[in-house]
Amino acid sequence: MSWRKAAGVYREDPDRVAKVFETKIRTQDPDWDDIQVMLDMLLDST
């Protein structure tokens, strides 16, 4: 499942986005480049 599909839209459900982000951090052990990609998707205005 893609990050955007799992997290949804931040403006609609910020708690869901935060929970998905935390789950990804805990389960996938991302490096800083991976985290940057997730943040870029999260903060994308489109």
The predicted pLDDT at position 45 comes to 62
The predicted pLDDT at position 1 comes to 62
DSSP structure class, residue 11: T
Nearest to 43 by CA among 5, 2, 11: 11
Give the position of tokens 């205005």.
45
pLDDT tens-digit readout, 1-46 = 676 778 887 788 889 888 988 888 899 889 999 889 888 877 776 5
Phi, psi torsion values for 30, nearest 5 degrees: -75, 155
The predicted pLDDT at position 11 comes to 81
User: In angstroms, what is the C-alpha Rg of the chain?
Assistant: 10
- Give the total number of structural domains in the chain: 1
- First-to-last CA distance in the chain? 19
